[in-house]
Chains A and B, each alone.
Chain A
Amino acid sequence: MRLHARIGFILLLTPLVLWLGLLIVIPHIDMLLISLRERISFGVYETSTTHYQKALTEPLYLRTFWRTAVMSVLATAITLLIAFPVAYYIAKMAKGRLQQVLFMLCLIPFYVSELVRTFGWMILLRETGLISNLLQWAGLADQPVEMLYTDAAMMVGLVYTSMLFMVVPLVTTLESLDDSVVEAGYDLGGNGLSVLREIIIPHAMPGIVSGCIVVFMLSLGNYLTPTMLGGKDSLWFTEMIYNQFIVRSNWELGATFGFMLLVLSSVIVWGMLRLTGRTLQETMG
């Protein structure tokens, strides 16, 4: 029987190790190695940090890097601000059937490919689009208005795309908040604002953290929305990775960018977990 358990253990461990080893761990190590080598001549390589130096000194690269980071944080904050009242409404104000229906309605747009959602925004925001026509019809504009290819359009798309991943964890944590705790807060003399600050937000913290982490990750790693909705000036870091790999075939620099993106996202996720004293296991699992 001991032997049996041991064989079972090994049989179950093998797929896991193959998966994580061959598709996650080794490829990332390989990517790091590639980013650390410099091409001397055909087929001759040397280890060096020249690509990192280049990435960290070239203004365009650096600017794009920080811009992507700041815009992703901004998108996360906006998503949280928009989603919180809605999640609270679904979890605490709506009851019974209405609650279920509203929750389902939140999920539906995300069964649809991101491409379709972005396409929808393009139809709405472009010069010949619906909103532009609406503005002209209402007399608010006397010629077609181009709203596409701006930072604002990109932000609308980013927030829209990741909304679900904020609403669902928020609803789940807020549902577990007992009504009587909120009532007690009012009984003790609190008003709407202090109850929100002292009771509701602290209780929702786990949901806020996991929502923010996922939304931030999705924004940072997004390629489609910045490409399709953003303007010429709003280059996204993922676009630079794509350009180096596919357009320029400069894999060394592309791998360097990829590693920088990985480090940035890991640092911010780690920082958020650290700040709120939570572990990845609690947040994701």
Chain B
Amino acid sequence: MIPTIPSSRSFRLIYGGYVLLFFLYLALPLTVVAVFAFNDSQFPSLPWEGFTWNWFFGDTRPQIGVFHERGILRAVGTSGFVAACVALLSVSVGTTNAFLFNRYEFRGKGALYVLMLLPLVVPGIVLGISILVFSSTLANGMWDLAQMDIQALRPGLLLVILGQFSFITTIATLVITARLQKFDRTLEDAALNLGATRLTAVRTITIPFLMPAMIGAVVVAFLMSFENFNTTLMLVGSDAPLTIAMFDRLKEGSTPLLNAVSLLLMLGSSLLALVVILFQRR
């Protein structure tokens, strides 16, 4: 079952065909979404009514395109803001975590490491409701104590950011730790020998070494936040990020507008992914 072992022609044909079918299965839903973004009809389904750009650039009813649809544009802005905050926060904490686990030996390190991994195996919805419950306990407590109504602790963008941060940080930590483990500590010692302080050595030697992993982690965190649904669903307030806004529209019935948004999302995330791959090659 490896190329060097002879196998029958029919076996190879069937195997190759199976793999081909698999990739068709992977591509099918995405292709369909992309193609129907150009259908000149109210519904993203057959019959094909002809080609149109209206679902992108149209500005008259009933075919209002993505770039003229206020609700969608606002949701994209909200998602972008949330994703930027989450990426920044989770990569910062991920970096300090990586240094902690890499450089220090302390009691309970193993247990803390396992605890750090747990957010990955907690279902997203449960993460969401636990944070919802705790923040409202806090908010109610503040009200009882001091008659203060803290809006930030009610469902809204802050909770969405914290909820996504709570598990994306684990991924950022893993990515950055993996790179830090490959770092040659003697390079830092050399810098110290040459008269640098510890902080300068870390800033000028270690951080640049970590940079590819940190940028990779920023992009991954941004994408994961942008696409997150489960945790966000439980914590969202009146400002809906894009996935929630699209979900609400999808429940009411879909128009090719959603296909157009989806196609732009696909292009955007592939572009980001490509940038990371090129960056890491260099």
Contact = CB atoms under 8 A, between A and B. Distances in A.
Interface string B227-248: 1011001100000000100110
A223 B126 contact: no
Contacts of A9: 100, 104, 106
Contact of A19 (B2, B131, B166, B247): B166
A44 interface: no
What range describes how many residues of A lie at the interface? 35 or more
A217 interface: yes
B1 A119 contact: no
Interface stretch (A47-55, A59-67, A101-109): A101-109
Contacts of A111: 223, 266, 269-270, 272-273
Given A12-B96, A221-B125, A255 B23 contact: no
Interface in A104-124: 105-109, 111-117, 119-124
B174 interface: yes
A233 interface: no
B133 A19 contact: no
Contacts, number: 241
Nearest to A179: B2
What range describes how many residues of B lie at the interface? 35 or more
Interface string B183-207: 0000000000000001000000000
A245 B133 CA distance: 10
B43 A128 contact: yes
Contacts of B54: none
A135 interface: no
Residue with the highest number of chain A CB atoms closer than 10 Å, among B22, B126, B163: B126
Interface string A82-109: 1001101100110100000010011111
Given A112-B269, A160-B29, A265-B123, A27 B133 contact: yes
Contacts of B18: 85-86
A130 B46 contact: yes
Contact of B130 (A28, A116, A120): A28
Interface in B145-188: 162-163, 165-166, 169, 174
Contacts of A261: 123, 125-126
B104 A92 contact: no
B201 to A, nearest CB: 13
A113 B229 contact: yes
B137 A30 contact: yes
A211 B129 CA distance: 26
Contact of A115 (B110, B125, B129, B243): B243
B155 to A, nearest CB: 10
Residue with the highest number of chain B CB atoms closer than 10 Å, among A19, A88, A106: A19
A69 interface: no
Interface of A is mostly: helix
Contacts of A242: 125, 233-234
Given A111-B223, A242-B234, A195 B1 contact: yes
Interface string A234-275: 000010011001100001001100100110011001000000
A220 B123 contact: yes
A80 to B, nearest CB: 14
Contacts of A238: 123, 125, 230
B73 interface: no
B229 A224 contact: yes
B44 interface: yes
Nearest to A113: B227
Interface in B80-127: 92-93, 96-97, 99-100, 103-104, 106, 110, 112-127
Given A19-B165, A115-B227, A281-B117, 17 more contacts: A15-B96, A16-B116, A31-B134, A111-B223, A124-B28, A124-B29, A179-B2, A179-B4, A192-B1, A192-B7, A217-B121, A221-B123, A221-B125, A221-B230, A258-B125, A258-B129, A285-B174
9 contacts: A13-B100, A27-B131, A92-B1, A112-B227, A112-B265, A120-B28, A130-B46, A223-B125, A224-B230
Interface of A: 4, 8-9, 11-13, 15-16, 19-20, 23-28, 30-31, 34, 82, 85-86, 88-89, 92-93, 95, 102, 105-109, 111-117, 119-124, 126, 128-130, 133, 160, 163, 179, 182-183, 186, 192, 195-196, 200, 213, 217, 220-224, 228, 238, 241-242, 245-246, 251, 254-255, 258, 261-262, 265-266, 269, 280-281, 284-285
